[in-house]
Amino acid sequence: MRATAAMAVSLLKLRIGVAIAASALAGVALASGPGLSWWQLTGLSLAILGASGAAGAFNHYYDRDLDRLMLRTRNRPFASGAFGESPWWLVAFLGLLVISLGLAWLTVGHVAAAYVFLGAFTYGIVYTVWLKRKSTWNIVVGGLAGSFAVLAGAAAVDPAPQVVPTVLAVVLFLWTPPHFWSLAAAKGQDYARAGIPMLPVVVPASAWTKAILAHSVALAAISLVPLWYGQGLFYGIGAAAGGGWFVWTSLTLYREPSKANAMANFFASLIQLAFLVAGALLSSAIGSWS
């Protein structure tokens, strides 16, 4: 049972899915409008988990040849041979996506469902099929997947665009490249062996460390903008603490490019996202109680 559960978590990339779903809930929290019921929040969360899982599973299947070349990914279900190759897998992944989109449509509306689809399409097709093997812009454009989750959460409250959730979507767009560039810098031999043109693999350290630092500074600064639109103390603490730490580790990496500092920056990016999302959710909860 434990092995089966671990395989499911790996196949559907549920750890990433949980982060994306949490980002969508942050979009809900930052949007102005009537609060969602528990069943709408549940439907939105499950829809995003399902859609991101379908896109993640397709990524496993499509990239099984690359995954076999990388130490970090060679034990994934398709790369390891635990799951055999069959077009029926693609049918199953598409079915999961359709069910997830239907759930989103029924519980939070067609605009939110469209954003859920765009997030899955960006990761599954734009990033995995079109860009990952061919361009250093792969993860830059791929960063839109997380942004669409935030917009889906906001659209569940009000389909009309709003400033504060859009700002958070921009932050997520800026967050994804330095997060994955840091990982690629720490696992550079893996990516080079697989021929994936991640920025740290194809340009000098002076260039990719500067790109990471620029992204971290920009996202930390932009994450504070919602304070001018009435977001509370807890949001400000989360944005400032998480963003400040991420900028500091990015600066350390810029000054001393090393695998250890790259991994430290990778984990700092996770802390930044966690603090930002927690701050948004806590501020919303405190505001609803007051």
Write down the pLDDT at residue 246: 98
Q: What distances in angstroms separate CA 201 from CA 62, 143, 178, 210, 224, one per listed residue? A: 22, 19, 14, 14, 32
Do 1-158 and 162-290 come out as alike in CATH topology?
no
**SS3 readout for 73-88:** CCCCHHHHCCCCCCHH
- Mean pLDDT score across all residues of the chain: 95
Give per-residue pLDDT as tens, 218-263.
999 999 999 999 898 999 999 999 999 999 999 999 999 999 999 9
Place of tokens 């671990």: 6
Q: What distances in angstroms separate CA 126 from CA 119, 120, 123, 141, 166, one per listed residue? A: 10, 9, 6, 8, 21
Write down the pLDDT at residue 290: 45
Give per-residue pLDDT as tens, 154-194.
999 999 999 999 999 999 999 999 999 999 999 999 999 99
Residue type, 50: G
Q: Is 1-158 CATH 3.40.309.10?
A: no
pLDDT band at 1 (very low <50, low <70, confident <90, very high): low
Write down the pLDDT at residue 152: 98
- Can you give the residue ranges of every domain in the chain? 1-158, 162-290
Lowest mean pLDDT among 32-36, 235-239, 258-262, 275-279: 32-36
Q: Where does 162-290 sit in CATH, by number?
A: 1.20.120
